[in-house]
Every structure is written in structure tokens, then in C-alpha cells.
């Protein structure tokens, strides 16, 4: 069955190095906590808030061995008034036998405020 595992983080600067590095940290944590292997991943969507426009955060995934053929798409987050700024969000579609309650969603830095109920 395909399940979604979510993650989000924030950055302090709108630079390629900072965005890609923060996304790499987030993806590594999502992969580690859920023991995800690239051949079990159907696709990954990565969104950024409007204030992040200097990099494609998907570049971070290409730093991981074995993840070359995983389809990744970057997109813009909906610009909701008073929403969290400087934020990168990830939705990974993953083939697993784990139940919904067993999946570890990852929220780092100021993004912890998005889903405090899922912060384990």
C-alpha cells in the first residue's frame, strides 16, 4: 500500500546553500526514522513558501546514493495570510506495510508549530 510520510522545516536565509542543506537534513531524518529505501518510494513532492526562490530543494535528494531514479517535483505552497514563512514541506509517497499510526512524520525547527500533535 502507498502511504504518505510528511515533513517540514524552516530556513533562516533565502540562499541555495541554506535551502538545499535544510532539505537534505529533513529528508535524511524522514528516511532514517521510517527506514525508507529508494526502491519503495513512488514519488516525492516538495513545496516552498513564496519567500524561497533561489533553489530547487529537490537537489538535496540527489545527494543520497541510490535515489537517482525517484521522481521528485517542486512546487509553490499556497500563500495563506499569516502562515509560516521560509518553509520547505515534503510529501513522500512510499510503499509500505506500516499502518498510518506507525509512520513517523518529521517537523524540524519552526515547522514544529505546523503539527505539534505529530512531534514525537
DSSP 59: G
* pTM of full prediction above 0.75: yes
CA distance 85 to 62: 25
- pLDDT, residue 119, reads 65
Contact 15, 78 (CB under 8 A): no
66 torsion bin: left (phi>0), alpha (psi -120 to 50), beta (else): left
Instruction: Select from 3.40.50.720, 3.30.1330.40, 3.90.1300.10, 3.40.309.10 the CATH code of 2-118.
Output: 3.30.1330.40
Please provide residue 106's backbone torsions phi and psi, each rounded to the nearest 5 degrees.
-125, 125
Per-block mean pLDDT, blocks of 10 residues, the chain (120 long): 97 98 98 98 98 98 96 97 97 97 97 86
Burial label for 75, CB within 10 Å (0-12, 13-18, 19+), is: exposed
> Which of 13, 103, 87 lies closest to 50, judged by CA?
87
- pLDDT, residue 120, reads 63
**Sole residue written with cell 506500516:** 98
- pLDDT, residue 117, reads 87
Strands 41-48 and 72-76: parallel
- Please list the active-site residues: 6, 62, 74, 77, 89, 107, 115
Amino acid at each position: 500500500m502507498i502511504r504518505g510520510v510528511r515533513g517540514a522545516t524552516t530556513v533562516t536565509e533565502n540562499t541555495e546553500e541554506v535551502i538545499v542543506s535544510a532539505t537534505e537534513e529533513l529528508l535524511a531524518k524522514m528516511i532514517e526514522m521510517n527506514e525508507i529505501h529508494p526502491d519503495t518510494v513512488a514519488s516525492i513532492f516538495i513545496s516552498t513558501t513564496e519567500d524561497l526562490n533561489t533553489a530547487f530543494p529537490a537537489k538535496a535528494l540527489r545527494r543520497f546514493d541510490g535515489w537517482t531514479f525517484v521522481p521528485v517535483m517542486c512546487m509553490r505552497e499556497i500563500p495563506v495570510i499569516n502562515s509560516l514563512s521560509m518553509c520547505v514541506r515534503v510529501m513522500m509517497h512510499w510503499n509500505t506495510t506500516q499502518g498510518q499510526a506507525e509512520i513517523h512524520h518529521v517537523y524540524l525547527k519552526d515547522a514544529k508549530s505546523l503539527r505539534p500533535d505529530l512531534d514525537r
